Structure 1
């Protein structure tokens, strides 16, 4: 379940302040699932308000699929998604493109800061 680099921007595309302001009204309506896991990863899904997708810049979307690209951490955090460290956006639920799927290794420990 590796991340396909072709489904991401080559490098994080940060939001302009004006773009971020358009998303602020939706942040409190973002829904976070409970965590669930298999033997390697823990998972969660994040449900964005459907109307929020209309305010996200076009270059965050995969034009071939009509869904969001796989987002770098800087990108999903800029959208207003808040999670602890270590989460990686690995898939978009195509039938419901406002649902983003995240994973991180089981028992993830953030690196120690020095």
Structure 2
């Protein structure tokens, strides 16, 4: 973070702290809150996956392969093998599925 940006954030936290009569939080808490807001606003690198692929992966998760057959057959039949074979798509697929499994968004779904 550039020094000027930090100085501006410091001033903002100081003003917020002073405006609340210095009684609700310590200055450090105000500074961390302002820094947290600033970091959330900065654009972070993000993995993306086309919606058409995400929809197929969502269907893949719900498929009972014990009654249907082998997973590789399903992947091939649903046109995913071409997309998976392109690096880093196979890793993005794994991150998407892992996020689904633990209930967090690790990969952003985009139109396509």
User: Normalized against structure 1, the TM-score is what?
Assistant: 0.25
More strand by share: 1
User: Normalized against structure 2, the TM-score is what?
Assistant: 0.26
More helix by share: 2
